[in-house]
Amino acid sequence: MRFRVMLPCLSVAATLALVGCHADHHGAPAPAPAPAYTLGGTISGLNASGLVLADTGQTLAVTEGASSFSFGAVLTAHSSYSVTVQTQPAGQTCSVTDGTGTADSANVANVVVVCSEQAYSLGGTVSGLTTTGLVLANGAGAVSVAANATTFTFATPVA
């Protein structure tokens, strides 16, 4: 008789344990997790290392030469995102277009990152120039230096 009494108790206990794992305290099934959507986009012009993108506390190191990026499945429906450049690559400047928005019910893949060589002003100092006619050239760019000038700067920055 003990065997018969113990078996139904174990069976009921096992059933209650399973229900407790898959239902709330009212016996309803647990809700399904919210779907997750990826956040990413394209990259152009990246030819140096060191680019780090950021979105709401998450960072993503992007390898030199990459043409796309993805933070992975980090968005849920109606969540906002804001992709920014946290760290610029060596010798380049990158900017983000379409980096902010709110996720609908689909992956976000339209963020655009464009990188270009850093541009620097090219110029210098002059001393002892007392006459007109001095023209300095850099490739296709040229600058006329006036008499008695102490500095010059080319109009077009260089990489």
Please check whether residue 115 is in contact with residue 51, taking contact to mean a CB–CB distance below 8 angstroms: yes
CB neighbour burial string for 129-145, b if at least 16 within 10 angstroms, e if fewer? eeeeeeeeeeeeeebeb
Burial class (CB in 10 A: 0-12, 13-18, 19+), 114: middle
pLDDT of residue 15: 44
pLDDT of residue 8: 46
Per-residue pLDDT of the chain (159 residues), as tens digits, is 444 444 444 444 444 444 444 445 566 777 878 889 999 999 999 999 999 999 998 999 999 999 999 999 999 999 999 999 999 999 999 999 999 999 988 999 999 999 999 888 899 999 999 999 999 999 888 999 999 999 999 888 887
Among the listed residues 118, 134, 119, the one whose alpha carbon sits nearest the alpha carbon of residue 151: 134
Its pTM surpasses 0.75: no
